[in-house]
Amino acid sequence: MQAKAYNFIPPKPSSPSIKLPPPNVISFPGDHVPQEISIAIPSQQVTSKTSTSIQEKKLAAYWDYQSLFVSQRTETANPVSLRVVEGSIPSDFPLGTYYLTGPGLFKDDFGSTVHPLDGHGYLRAFTIDGAKGEITYMARYIKTAAQVEEHDGETGEWRFTHRGPFSVLKNGKKIGNTKVMKNVANTSVLRWGDRLFCLWEGGAPYEIESASLDTVGKFDLINNSNGSILDEHMVDHRWDVLDLAAGILKPILYGIFNMPPKRLLSHYKIDTKRNRLLMMSCNAEDMLLPRSTFTFYEFDCNFKMLQKLEFKLQEHLMIHDWAFTDSYYVLFGNRIKLDILGSLTAVCGFTPMISALSVNPSKSTSPIYLLPRGPKDETSRDWKLPIEAPSQMWVLHVGNAFEEKDHTGNTQIKIQASGCSYKWFNFQKMFGYNWQNGKLDPSMMNADKGEDKLLPRLIEVSINLDATENCEKCCVVPLNNEWHRATDFPVINQDFSGSNNKYVYAATCSGVRPELPHFPFDTIVKFNNVKNSTQTWSVDTRRFIGEPIFISNGSGEDDGYLLVVEYAVSEQRSYLVILDAKSIGETNALVAKLEVPKSLNFPLGFHGFWAPRCFKS
């Protein structure tokens, strides 16, 4: 069956009065919510070639952004060999598979569109054999319960019935629709214990058969094992009231809305020193209460739960990614609050469910919680009290964290992460999705001059603890003082995870396209933390990249390769790019570039995982 590959086809403007949001204008009125601003395409009476050219570039940038989120309905269960279009596959490239998940479908056949975060998970697999000089590609939809319900396997039709947390159905049931938690398994991939999983930010992982990419089914990881539990929390009048409120919410959320009691996060951690898988969950009812309950799980390679620790904090927090060291789980507390009006409109189906929450910029500091990975004696620092970092930042992704002790017993903890301003982050505008018209506004992900400092940056947080674990100093600095471009998706050589690393790689923007100055990303940047220097590699114009991933191939920290997908919207084609990690910044950084068949072009992905063929947990 011929694929219906693209939802957004750039039209030829037939009227000079088309209005589009400018991709590089953003403002923060009221509670720091970005405001859409429309521009008018010059009329035929305007003869200025310069003015017309500017508007045409903005129009082209707008539609390029839509094309980055194409829908792909075609799956390929049989491996397809990719053609090398530049360079050659290195013979010493480790044998293995790069798994990348992300949304695959944004529009059904009945007029409804969804936010990228609600798009059905579409798993892509690149199997690389350097010895044979071959890379094959497969792609399958993850058959979650929602996907099976919304997709007719016989006719190929899609009809969205689940609202999803970030979307509103135009031609589906709105009022009374309790299908909110749409587990689409589209956020991250994990290979552990020789088993493959796709994860989402709010439900159980889905297990995938690694050879065929067939969906095995849900894997209830956190309820299938027993472990020791450390349950410490404040017991006072305030908590009694919240416990009462939680008791009222639980039957509604668990029963009517079918939410899992424990919301498993999509970001996991692998402790290579102890050979453990670390995962974290939040209580569903705490999303609507001024408290947070976090549970951490540690598993061995056979999925035996070695440890289960629960912590209750007296703050309303949103966590997407987190960190760990030998002694602590490290949480950056992104403060949120309940939006009463948004809650009412969301429950009625008029706005996305995420409208019930908003960022809480009431404090100028950022709480960092150091939660012990084991029992602590009475003289230890009270983990319920956060360390207040001296700047307000919404932490997005963590690259690395480690701790070092000196001869006096003092400890220094360092965390490398990406963070943005509370003034820029907006639940309803992530990726620029406009749920009212179903389009994506690139201006929401960019900023005008003077406001670009609000965008994601790479930061390093340093925490100094004395011998009794009391904080002596906490500071937040840019990872590189000379680097001022919007940057996210920090990655390192995982062989050096948990130790004092020299290099960090990330996705960033070259800034050469004024209409899309900060996002989508088109550049890889390599940070040298010792020399405080940076090197970059960029794609050509009208091409963008996703998250890079490091593949180790030697004993040195930058001995290896970077894999990254290039999205050529100018050709409506995707490419897999292999870069020499050591040569970033040099002319020979690109080692090989392979094209995905145009009929299999896929949209922007989220997070991936490299699984060596000889993988052993």
Of 567, 546, 555, whose CA–CA distance to 491 is shortest?
546
What is the per-residue DSSP string for 432-465?
A: GEETTTTEE-GGGG---TTTGGGS-EEEEEEEEE
pLDDT for 22 beyond 50: no
Q: Which helix (H) or strand (E) holds 235?
A: none
Q: What's the CA gap between 266 and 186, in Å, rounded?
A: 9
515: left (phi over 0), alpha (psi -120 to 50) or beta: alpha
Q: How confident is the model at residue 48 (pLDDT cuts 50, 70, 90)?
A: low
In this predicted structure, what is the pLDDT of residue 14? 34
* Phi, psi values for residue 298, rounded to 5°: -125, 130
70: pLDDT strictly greater than 60: yes
Mean predicted confidence (pLDDT) in 299-319: 94
181 pLDDT tier (thresholds 50, 70, 90): confident
pLDDT class of 176 with cuts at 50, 70, 90: low
CA angle 257, 261, 267 (to 5 degrees): 105
The pLDDT value recorded for residue 379 is: 66
Name 610's Cβ contacts closer than 8 Å, sequence gap at least 6.
96, 97, 98, 99, 549, 550, 551, 563
**CA dist 550 → 110, 196, 212, 496, 569 (Å):** 41, 19, 25, 11, 25
Which is it for strands 334-338 and 269-271: parallel, antiparallel or unpaired? unpaired
Quick one: what percent of the chain has pLDDT higher than 70? 86
3-class state of residue 137 by DSSP: strand
Q: What is the pLDDT of residue 21?
A: 36
Q: Which residues contact 401 (CB under 8 A, 6 or more apart)?
A: 323, 324, 325, 330, 413, 414, 415, 416, 498
Sequence letter at residue 382 = D
Terminal C-alpha separation, the chain: 40
* Residue 141 contacts residue 202 (beta carbons within 8 Å): no
DSSP three-state, residue 500:
coil
Specify the amino acid at residue 314: Q
Position 468 confidence tier, pLDDT thresholds 50, 70, 90: confident
pLDDT band at 172 (very low <50, low <70, confident <90, very high): low
Report pLDDT digits (tens) over 351-368.
Answer: 898 999 999 999 999 999
> 566-611: per-residue pLDDT in tens?
999 999 999 999 999 999 999 999 999 999 999 999 999 999 999 9
176 Cβ partners below 8 Å, 6+ apart? 349
Which alpha helices (DSSP H) does 405-530 contain, by range? none
Residue 42 has pLDDT above 90, yes or no: no
State the residue for tokens 């360390």. 387
Sign of CA dihedral 100, 101, 103, 109: positive
pLDDT 10s digits, 97-147: 999 999 999 999 998 999 999 999 999 999 999 999 999 999 999 999 999
pLDDT score, position 517: 94
